[in-house]
Amino acid sequence: MRRLIILRLSSMILVLIGITVLVFGLSRLSGDPRYLYMSAYTRITSESWEAQGKAMGLDKPIAVQYGLWLLNAAKGDFGESVHYRRNSLEMIIESLPATLRLSGVSFVFAVLLGVPLGVLSAVKRVSVWDYCGRSFALLGQAAPPFWIAIVLVWVFSVQLGWLPTSRQGDWTHYVLPVVTLAWLPAAGLLRLTRSSMLEIMDSEYIKLAKAKGVGSWKIIWKHALRNALIAPLTFAATLLAGFLTGTVVIETVFAWPGLGRLAVQATLNTDFPLITGLALIFSIMFLLCSLAADILYAVIDPRIRYR
Is 80 part of a structural domain of the chain? no
Do residue 35 and residue 170 come from a single domain? Answer: no
Is 68 part of a structural domain of the chain? yes
For the segment 4-38, what is each residue's pLDDT rounded down to a tens digit? 677 777 888 888 888 888 888 877 776 666 666 66
Least Cα distance to 237 among 292, 197, 285 occurs for: 292
Report how far apart, in Å, the C-alpha atoms of 261 and of each of 92, 114, 166, 255 are: 11, 27, 13, 7
Do residue 116 and residue 149 come from a single domain? Answer: yes
Do residue 9 and residue 148 come from a single domain? Answer: no
Do residue 192 and residue 220 come from a single domain? Answer: yes
Q: How far apart are CA 81 and CA 25, in angstroms?
A: 18
176 neighbors 156 (Cβ within 8 angstroms): yes
282 neighbors 275 (Cβ within 8 angstroms): no
Is 83 part of a structural domain of the chain? no
- Over residues 44-51, the mean pLDDT reads 70
Do residue 161 and residue 106 come from a single domain? Answer: yes
Do residue 47 and residue 162 come from a single domain? Answer: no
Is 140 part of a structural domain of the chain? yes
Dihedral sign (CA 30, 90, 291, 8):
positive
Dihedral sign (CA 211, 216, 220, 223):
negative
Q: How far apart are CA 46 and CA 291, in angstroms?
A: 50
8-state DSSP, 113: H
60 neighbors 67 (Cβ within 8 angstroms): no
Is 206 part of a structural domain of the chain? yes
Dihedral sign (CA 12, 13, 14, 19):
positive
For the segment 71-100, what is each residue's pLDDT rounded down to a tens digit? 888 887 887 777 777 888 888 888 888 888
Instruction: Indicate the residue among 74, 108, 130 that finishes a domain.
Output: 74
Please, which pLDDT band fits residue 215 given cuts at 50, 70 and 90? low
User: Residue 234 sits in which domain range?
Assistant: 88-300
Is residue 305 scored above 60 in pLDDT? no
Give the residue with greater pLDDT, 151 vs 240.
151
Do residue 55 and residue 181 come from a single domain? Answer: no
Do residue 33 and residue 127 come from a single domain? Answer: no
Q: How far apart are CA 90 and CA 92, in angstroms?
A: 5
Do residue 29 and residue 169 come from a single domain? Answer: no
Average pLDDT over the chain reads 78
Number of domains comprising the chain: 2
Dihedral sign (CA 168, 170, 174, 176):
negative
CATH number at residue 147: 1.10.3720.10
Do residue 166 and residue 38 come from a single domain? Answer: no
Instruction: Indicate the residue among 46, 74, 102 that finishes a domain.
Output: 74
Instruction: Indicate the residue among 74, 97, 131 that finishes a domain.
Output: 74
Is 245 part of a structural domain of the chain? yes
Other CB atoms within a 10 A radius of the CB of residue 211 amount to 8
Is 306 part of a structural domain of the chain? no
Output the pLDDT for position 14.
Answer: 86
Do residue 51 and residue 103 come from a single domain? Answer: no
Q: Where are the alpha helices (DSSP H) in 161-305?
A: 172-201, 204-211, 216-218, 225-228, 230-245, 248-253, 259-268, 272-300
- Over residues 284-305, the mean pLDDT reads 73
Output the pLDDT for position 5.
Answer: 73
Do residue 44 and residue 179 come from a single domain? Answer: no
